[in-house]
Amino acid sequence: MYKGRMKLEKELVAASSVPLVLSILSEAENYGYAIIQRVRALSEGEIEWTDGMLYPVLHWLDDVGYVRSVWRKADTGRKRKYYSLNPEGRQALRQQKQQWAAVNHTLNQLWIPRYA
Amino acid sequence: MRNLEKEIADWRRSMATTSGCCQELLDELEEHLREEIAQLLRSGISDDDVWQMAVARLGAPADLRAEFEKLKASRRAWMPVKIARLLVAATGAMSLAAALLFGERSGILLAIHVFCVSLGYSMMFVMGGLSIVYICAHWLGEPALNRRSSFLRATFQFAGISAVLVAVGTILGMFWAKDHLGRYWAWDLKETGAFWILGCALLISVLRWIKPAQTFAMYIAIAGNMITAWGWFGANAPASWKLSNPFLVVFVASQLIFILGGAVKGVADMKGKQAER
């Protein structure tokens, strides 16, 4: 799923895909291509998904009721599918934030430089 | 110069056969591909290179199919859901045994009616029990993504099967009533109970397609416990107990407490989210 300067572990990319998508959708309604561009921009190119792999994640989130989707006419004149976060999705995002904060806090404790 | 429209059409045909994606997903992926192509053309890349780069970024059809398959496999059932499915299987076996017993004495019509109604009503109780477990789990901590997904999937499956069984059992019961009582339907306690139980199962089934309202399925499932208890056991109780069977009253009160508990937790969560914003 990842191509770029630093090769992130496949499992790490897979694990971070849901919180990344939920976080981006918590800002505003969005669509697949724009979500990928946003991840690319925020990570300054460090995280690059194989674009098609986003869609299984989006469809799964739609399936479990965390996001809702609607087809709308884009400025290109073609139809485009937009996704937005449901209340259950906001709850799931809050849970994800707590879990990632716990992992981050633990790793930071271990990785703080020790001075002689 | 590459004919991009032809390439896109060929790509779509290949994606359809290899990835197994539905038309709607293909539309979405095609839109994505077109945006990628437009972006690459704007950055000055040649048509030949643009096509190769855009398709490479989207990923191979087989890889996309594998990702969708992985997500399906990751939808592991929550343990209470596994227990619920076992209970339904066990109830099915017992209902079949009961039906065979009735079949010997009272004929095939009543036998199938007994099987359908027993299993259909039992599945309503299993759904209600699963909803109570989910509410209790929610009180103990926020349910994980997969748990909620597993719970909802099982609830809608049980509701659909229960609705079919109760409908079939009720219709067969109508024909039995015509043969033995001279009328199809008289709104007696059992028939009224069956009507409301079927309504409850159908309502839960419909919520499957109303994503914003799916959470209400658990409250309706617990209400289904009350309706099924009254329609099944209340209807079959001695005449003097039909409307005020003390055990039924206690059972109904307990179900109302769980509905209230779930609603209170839901409201508390919403207030917590608003405070965070």
pLDDT value of residue B243: 56
Residues A51/A36, Cβ–Cβ less than 8 Å: yes
**Is a pLDDT exceeding 70 seen at residue A14?**
yes
Report the pLDDT value the prediction gives residue A1, as an integer from 0 to 100. Answer: 46
Report yes or no: B72 and A65 within 8 Å, Cβ to Cβ: no
| Distance, CA of B172 to CA of A21 (rounded, Å) | 50
pLDDT band for A43, please (50, 70, 90 cuts).
confident
The size of chain B, in residues, is 277
Segment among A55-59, B5-9, B67-71 with least mean pLDDT = B67-71
Residues 6+ away with beta carbon under 8 Å from B182: none
Q: B71-102: string of b/e by CB count within 10 Å (b at 16+)?
A: eeeeeebbebbeebbebbeebbeebeeebeeb
Asked if residue A68 lies in contact with residue A83, where contact means CB atoms within 8 angstroms, the answer is: yes
Region B20-43 average pLDDT:
88
Stretch (H or E) spanning A115: none
What percent of chain B is modeled with pLDDT above 90? 27
| First-to-last C-alpha distance (Å) of chain B | 53
Locus of tokens 């309604």:
A29
Residue B260 has pLDDT above 70, yes or no: yes
Give the span between the Cα atoms of A8 and B157, in whole angstroms: 39
Q: Does A10 touch chain B (CB under 8 A)?
A: no
- Among A1, A51, A63, A76, the residue to mutate for chain B (most B Cβ within 10 A): A51
Write down the mean pLDDT value for chain B: 84
Please enumerate in sequence order all residues whose Cβ is within 8 A of that of B34, keeping only pairs 6 or more positions apart, or say none: A76, A78, B8
Confidence of residue A97 (pLDDT cuts 50, 70, 90): very high
Q: What are B163-183's pLDDT values in tens digits?
A: 999 999 999 989 888 888 888
Residue in B24, B32, B270 to test binding to A, most A beta-carbons within 10 Å: B32
Residue A59, helix vs strand vs coil? helix
Cα–chain-centroid distance for residue B176?
31
Q: In what order do the strands lie in the sheet with A30-31?
A: A30-31, A79-85, A67-73
- Quote the tokens at residue B152: 């909802």
Three-state DSSP state, A61: helix
Please indicate whether, in this complex, the C-beta atoms of B64 and A95 are within 8 angstroms of each other: no
- Residue B53: how many CB atoms within 10 A of its CB? 14
Contacting residues of A for B27, CB less than 8 Å apart: 79, 81
Phi and psi at residue A31, to the nearest 5° = -130, 165
Listed range (B9-18, B52-61, B70-79) with the worst mean pLDDT: B70-79
Averaged pLDDT, A89-111: 91
> What is the ipTM score, two decimals?
0.83
pLDDT tens, B101-115? 766 666 788 888 888
- Indicate the pLDDT class of residue B225, thresholds 50, 70 and 90: very high
Tell me which residue in A18, A50, A68 faces B211 most closely, judged by beta carbons: A68
Q: How far apart are CA B267 and CA B270, in angstroms?
A: 5
Instruction: Answer for the pair B161, B210: CB distance below 8 angstroms, yes or no.
Output: no
Chain B: give the shortest CA distance to residue A101, in Å: 16
Has residue B130 got a pLDDT over 50? yes
Asked if residue A2 has pLDDT above 70, the reply is no
Phi-psi region of B44 (alpha: psi -120 to 50; beta: other; left: phi over 0): left
Global confidence as pTM: 0.64
**Of A18, A51, A68, which has the smallest distance from its Cβ to B36's Cβ?**
A51
Confidence of residue B186 (pLDDT cuts 50, 70, 90): confident
- What is the SS3 assignment for B269? helix
The pLDDT assigned to B199 comes to 95
What is the enclosing helix (H) or strand (E) of A51? none
pLDDT tens across B244-259, in order?
A: 678 888 888 999 999 9
pLDDT above 90 as % of chain A: 42
Residues A19-27, mean pLDDT to the nearest whole number = 95
| Average of per-residue pLDDT across B9-38 | 87
DSSP label at residue A75:
T
Q: Give the pLDDT band of residue B32 (cuts 50, 70, 90).
A: very high
Closest CA to B138 of B218, B211, B30: B218
Quickly state the pLDDT bin for A116 (edges 50, 70, 90). Answer: very low
Is pLDDT of A102 > 90? Answer: yes
Q: Do B59 and A53 touch (CB under 8 A)?
A: yes
Contacts 24+ apart (CB under 8 A), B185-191: B188/B235, B189/B231, B189/B234, B189/B235, B189/B242, B190/B231, B190/B235, B190/B236
B-chain CB neighbours of A88 within 8 Å are 148, 215
For B272, other C-beta atoms within 10 Å of its C-beta total 11
Residue B242's pLDDT band (cuts 50, 70, 90): low
Q: Are B153 and B76 in contact (CB under 8 A)?
A: no
Say if the Cβ atoms of B63 and A80 lie within 8 Å: no
H-assigned helices in chain B: 4-19, 23-42, 47-58, 61-73, 79-106, 108-140, 145-181, 189-207, 216-229, 235-236, 246-276
Amino acid at B120: G
| Residue pair A30/A38 in contact by the 8 Å Cβ criterion | yes
| pLDDT above 60 (res B239) | no
Q: Give the tens place of pLDDT for each residue, B58-82.
A: 888 888 888 777 776 666 678 888 8
DSSP letter string, A82-103: EEEE-HHHHHHHHHHHHHHHHH
Half-sphere exposure (Cβ direction) of A3: Cα atoms closer than 13 Å: 9
pLDDT band at B220; cut points 50, 70, 90: very high
pLDDT over 70 for what percent of chain B?
88
